[in-house]
Chains A and B, each alone.
Chain A
């Protein structure tokens, strides 16, 4: 769901850079204060995995595709703050090397996918509460990852619709319903993939998952 240059107004782009920087400073401070060096391998390998997974678009309908964003997955695995930094690096590499996502639009893409996406961590937390049930956890992950894609698409729809380029097409009154229409379905893919990944990790790599509870305990 990368915004390309030309899709949003430069003024919107500047505001989104500012908003993203505020969150990234917050995330940087949180990670610096709380994370041990032993965490670096998980950060690097899971980030590289999400980069690879994002390359694989799945067809949705009407000649349109979607791909995993992976922010909820990273947030569950790494905590929301490290996930914000991880997603930002993925987006940086995509924009610089592969022209996937614009340069002017970079701040907006960070805000939409890295910040909003990683904040879905708190949706997982809210829905899971103190339940130890794996099914409750799985369904929380599904709902949170679906919601992260839908809210991200809403943010992108507003940023795009504010540009005069969409005025003749109807502005945000049209971009919002159109974006939501596609991403309600793309989000189901995100939810299915994320839930499968988390459940597989829980089954095959319980050591990683048990370290998560420690990470979760640290998230304040």
Chain B
């Protein structure tokens, strides 16, 4: 359990350091679609649209918080998948 908390904290620090440098320009695929006049028609807005928590005004904090939630969700989901799918062998029982 401890290693997952440490990993989460390290990843939040990693994001905190790099978020200010991240580009907010559309990515290559979005550029291609919009240059051909094709618009996105989302059927779902997401709970934290565009990696921001709407109740937080500061965009840096908002993105960092969304990143933190995302990290926790991905970690939890892959952990659950991993536990479900892998075999418990004698040598690594108790981990």
Q: Which residues of A contact B95 (CB under 8 A)?
A: 37-38
Residue A31 at the chain B interface, CB threshold 8 Å: yes
Q: Min CB distance, B86 to chain A, in Å?
A: 5
Instruction: Count residues of A near B (Cβ-Cβ below 8 Å).
Output: 70
Q: Which residues of A contact B42 (CB under 8 A)?
A: 4-6, 99, 102
Q: Which residues of A contact B37 (CB under 8 A)?
A: 168-169
Q: Is the interface of B mostly helix, strand, loop or mixed?
A: helix
Return the contact of A160 from the options B8, B33, B69, B82 (Cβ within 8 A). B33
Q: Min CB distance, A188 to chain B, in Å?
A: 12
B19 and A153 form a contact (CB under 8 A): no
How many angstroms between the C-alpha atoms of A182 and B34 in the bound complex?
A: 14
A166 and B85 form a contact (CB under 8 A): no
How many angstroms between the C-alpha atoms of A89 and B39 in the bound complex?
A: 26
Instruction: Count residues of B near A (Cβ-Cβ below 8 Å).
Output: 62
- Residues of A at the B interface (CB closer than 8 Å) are 1-7, 28, 31-32, 35-41, 43-45, 47-49, 51-52, 55-60, 62-67, 85-86, 89-90, 92-100, 102-104, 153, 156-157, 160, 163, 165-166, 168-170, 174-175, 178-179, 182-183, 186
Return the contact of A97 from the options B19, B27, B30, B46 (Cβ within 8 A). B46
With contacts A51-B71, A52-B70 taken as known, whether A6 is within 8 angstroms of B28 at the C-beta atoms is no
With contacts A55-B51, A99-B45, A182-B28 taken as known, whether A41 is within 8 angstroms of B3 at the C-beta atoms is yes
Q: Which residues of B contact A89 (CB under 8 A)?
A: 74, 77-78, 81
How many angstroms between the C-alpha atoms of A154 and B43 in the bound complex?
A: 25
B33 and A59 form a contact (CB under 8 A): no
B44 and A56 form a contact (CB under 8 A): no
A93 and B73 form a contact (CB under 8 A): yes
How many angstroms between the C-alpha atoms of A67 and B35 in the bound complex?
A: 19
Q: Which residues of B contact A67 (CB under 8 A)?
A: 27
Q: Min CB distance, B39 to chain A, in Å?
A: 6
Q: Min CB distance, B71 to chain A, in Å?
A: 5
Return the contact of A56 from the options B19, B28, B89 (Cβ within 8 A). B19
A97 and B26 form a contact (CB under 8 A): no
